[in-house]
Amino acid sequence: METNQLVLQELSLSDQPISGEQLAQKLSISRTAIWKAIKTLKQKGYQIESKPHVGYKYKDNGILNEFVIRRYLPANTNRILDFEMHDKISSTNTRAKEISIETDENLPLVIISDQQTAGYGRYGRAFTSPNTGIYMSLLLKNSSTLLNPGLLTTATATAVSRAIEKKLHTTPSIKWVNDILIDKKKIVGILTEGIADIESRYIKQIVIGIGINYSTDVSDMPSEIQQRAGSLHSFAKTYSVSRNEFIAAVLQEFFLLYPHYETGAFLDEYRAHSAVLNKKVTITQGHNQFSGYVEQINRQGEIVLDDGTTLSSGEVTKIRLE
């Protein structure tokens, strides 16, 4: 790890202020090197208070920081995860797919970026990603022979909803399959992709991309999205949760559900948040459209309409109340 990162790690992990001398001793580098590292970190936007005769104290002002995320995680989740942090990247899902080809080691890996220049969602649509949101991809080894990506997406949506309720004290709804809404505005999008081993045709790894409009100013978004999108923080009942803390909450909830997601044990919770269950909807699947009353979300996370049509993928394009 380079010096700046080592200093950031020490500061982020300490509850007490640490003096330049203590840092220099701990990291076996000069006090000048410590001073320089702190100056660079401050320039990058990290909040480090200097208290004369006491030392340096780190404050979580929301700048993404792996060490702070780790502090918020329970030990058992922290232990199993590797992180890759970026200031700017084309897309965390694209990056995850690049890595997946290289190695199976160090998984689960969490890739997080402050901004994306080519973030994308379902059907190849652009996902606007300014530096006020949360963009992360989980790269996981697939151990299931009967992989059901829809169920994994519904499990992820449930985990993100739990994090929203626990941390921000507001209740979202889930628009099947993968959109999380508050007040009918889209706050979170989830995109699950599988990576196949060509020879065996087996899905060997999975990428779960989560994009959250965290404190994004909706008026900065493209005009066609403004109508439909919202910013999570504007609906929060508490204002003191940093992006780092929220990311940790999502990871904690996800890794509670993930080991058992195939049992569908979380589906009742998913159904309770559903924006489509017991509603009349139109679902678009490629060139086909299906309209009907949503009678069930079944054990596979599929939609069952009143005429018996069962859909495992598609986009809900209309929701009527009757």
Q: Which of residues 204-263 bind ligand BTN (CB under 6 A)?
A: 209-211
Among 127, 176, 214, 270, binds ligand BTN (CB under 6 A): 127
The smaller minimum CB distance to ligand BTN, of residues 20 and 119, is found at: 119
Number of residues that this document lists for the chain: 322
Q: Is 91 near ligand BTN (CB under 6 A)?
A: yes
Measured from the CB of residue 106, what is the shortest distance to ligand BTN in angstroms?
19
Measured from the CB of residue 198, what is the shortest distance to ligand BTN in angstroms?
23
Question: What CA–CA distance (Å, rounded) separates 270 from 290?
Answer: 22
Measured from the CB of residue 93, what is the shortest distance to ligand BTN in angstroms?
4
Question: What CA–CA distance (Å, rounded) separates 305 from 317?
Answer: 15
Helix 31-43 and helix 20-27, axial crossing angle in degrees, nearest 10:
110
Among 58, 120, 176, 214, binds ligand BTN (CB under 6 A): 120
Measured from the CB of residue 208, what is the shortest distance to ligand BTN in angstroms?
9
Taking CA atoms, 297 is separated from 93, 149, 221, 279, in Å, by 27, 15, 32, 12
Residue number with the shortest CB distance to ligand BTN?
A: 189
Region near ligand BTN per CB under 6 A, out of 37-45, 91-99, 169-177, 288-296: 91-99
Residue 219 amino acid letter: S
How is residue 269 written in tokens?
């919770």
Q: Is 148 annotated as a binding residue?
A: no
Q: Which residue from 302, 321, 36 is spatially nearest to 176, judged by alpha carbons?
A: 302
Whether the CB-CB separation of 186 and 231 falls below 8 Å is answered with: no
Q: Is 150 near ligand BTN (CB under 6 A)?
A: no
Q: Is 292 near ligand BTN (CB under 6 A)?
A: no
Question: What CA–CA distance (Å, rounded) separates 214 from 230?
Answer: 9
> Exposed/middle/buried for 308, CB within 10 Å: 0-12, 13-18, 19+?
exposed
Question: What CA–CA distance (Å, rounded) separates 244 from 63?
Answer: 8
Q: Which residue from 293, 290, 289, 282 is spatially nearest to 316, judged by alpha carbons?
A: 282
Q: Is 154 near ligand BTN (CB under 6 A)?
A: no
Q: Is 137 near ligand BTN (CB under 6 A)?
A: yes
DSSP state of 126: B
Region near ligand BTN per CB under 6 A, out of 117-125, 221-229, 250-258, 274-282: 117-125
Among 135, 214, 254, 266, binds ligand BTN (CB under 6 A): 135
Q: Is 158 annotated as a binding residue?
A: no
Which residues contribute to the annotated binding site for biotin? 91-93, 116, 186
Q: Which positions touch ligand BTN (CB under 6 A)? A: 91-93, 116, 119-122, 127, 135-137, 189-191, 209-211
